Amino acid sequence: MQKPRWLASLHLDLVIAFLIAIVSTTLALAAWRGNMVSSSAADASRLGIINTIKKQASTNEDWRATYQEANYAENYAVYLAEVQALEASGDPAAVAQAANLRQYLLPNLQLPASPLASDPVYQNPDGTYNLSKRFDDLEAAAPDLSGLNPQASFQLAGRYYSEQRWLTVTMVLLAVSLFWLALAEIGGKRQRLLTLLIGGGVYGLGLVLLAVVEVLFFILRGGVL
Amino acid sequence: MTESIPEPASQSPGAERYKTLVVVLTVITTVITAIVASLQADANIRASTNNGASQEYAIQASGELHRQGLQSAYDINVFSGYLKDTQESLVFSLTALELQQKGDPQGAAASLLKAAISQARADKARQFSIFYTDPRYAPKTADGLPDMKAYLADSNALANDLVKSQNAAADAYNLWNHKADSYTSILTILAVAFFLFGLAQALSPRLRLLFAIFGMVALAGAGAWMVLILVI
């Protein structure tokens, strides 16, 4: 016994209606995910900027401290040379003056220049000081700030932005699919099956792309959603 | 037994005129809307990325200027100390010579001691001065002066590079942000086209054609604007 034509038509209507509901839900999910990814990208970018400011502020302070010590250390070294010249002069008054300077003045000059002028690790063979090493040590002393890695945040933001681009393509495919399915719902009998197939095919393509994009970027981000 | 549902009353053939045309135009509008939406999302992403980069470069440039200022202050301070002590030593030596000629050996010896002390200070300061220790700036002759121009150029080089990068990123941000804004305007025009095509479907054939033409004008305008943004 053959099915009546109206029943077949009713079945097709139901199939299309179900498909439209499924595609709409998928589109809503893709839009939600796209917004989530966009928000995560903005968060990562914001964190990158904040970390850049924190790190730069820490670096600025370390350079300031380095050059402050360097100024005191240079002043100390010049006074030390003066004292040594007085000692080498052979003049009794100058030698006595040098002894007092060495005992009372030089330690006070060395104090603000420490550890640059007092720790041998910062002494260069020619009597100058290794400012780069002092700066590196100051940076290392605050690893919570100098160890910040803004580039990692910017890279993460970049990956989120890439995913957002592909999710937009996916959403466009789903919207196109929805359009063809709507056309199938309202279209004439001859075109109905063709438009339904086109809509279903585009939806399948969009769904596969959505899955690939999600899995790929999930792996690229090291398992972070 | 099969039953048949009653067939709807047949419409006059003229009532369906231009419906296919409007459907085709709606499909085209959908595709163009999808393309513009993608382009707008992409432009927004590029604008955000360049915005972040320009801010990062600005922070780094300000940090580099700060560091460079500290270094310059230190270098000039050491250099000026060296110049002061060298000149003092020279003046004390000349004084010692004058006193010697006037028959004051004690005064001459005291002045010579001062000259030696100043020279010792100057020699030490010279060791610390980048203008005498760095071959890029050190005088080429014994009586020559340090190459201050080269020092200034090198001091500002990194900061200038960072500012150039910052400017480039800021320009790129403005460009993409402007494009994203323009795409939003195009999407608005496309929404108008959708409305016109939708209205056309519900009207009589003559009005349908009129609204389809209005929709086509909006669609053509949106398409032309999109191409213009892509080309510029």
Please give the tally of structural domains in chain B. 1
- CATH number assigned to the domain comprising residue B117: 1.10.287
| Domain contains B1 | no
Peptide bond into A115 cis (omega under 30): yes
pLDDT of residue B149: 94
Domain span holding position B176: 19-231
Residue B168 in any domain: the answer is yes
- Nearest-by-CA chain B residue for A71: B74
Q: Which residues of A touch B56 (CB under 8 A)?
A: 48-49, 52, 150, 154
Beta-carbon neighbour count of residue A129 at 10 Å? 22
The DSSP call for residue B11 is: P
Residue with tokens 């330690």: A107
What is the count of structural domains for chain A? 1
Asked whether the beta carbons of B10 and B161 are under 8 A apart, the reply is no
In a domain, B12, yes or no: no
* pLDDT tens readout for residues B50-90: 999 999 999 999 999 999 999 999 999 999 999 999 999 99
Q: Is B148 helix (H, G, I), strand (E, B) or coil?
A: helix
Residue A85 lies in a domain: yes
Q: Name the DSSP class of B2.
A: -
SS3 for chain A is CCCCHHHHHHHHHHHHHHHHHHHHHHHHHHHHHHHHHHHHHHHHHHHHHHHHHHHHHHHHHHHHHHHHHHHHHHHHHHHHHHHHHHHHCCCHHHHHHHHHHHHHHHHHHHCCCCCCCCCHHHECCCCCECHHHHHHHHHHHCHHHHCCCHHHHHHHHHHHHHHHHHHHHHHHHHHHHHHHHHHHHHCCHHHHHHHHHHHHHHHHHHHHHHHHHHHHHHHHCCCCC
Range of the domain at A115: 5-220
Closest alpha carbon within chain B to A195: B27
Nearest CB among B2, B34, B78 relative to A176 is that of B34
Whether residue A52 and residue B77 make contact (CB cut-off 8 A), yes or no, is no
More confident residue, B30 or B154: B154
Please give the model's pTM, rounded to 2 decimal places.
0.82
Q: What is the mean pLDDT of residues A34-46?
A: 94
Q: How far apart are CA B149 and CA B61, in angstroms?
A: 21
Considering the domain boundaries, does residue B8 fall inside one? no
A101 domain-assigned = yes
- B73 in any annotated domain: yes
Q: For B25-48, what is each residue's pLDDT tens digit?
A: 988 898 899 889 889 999 999 999
- Is residue A225 domain-resident? no
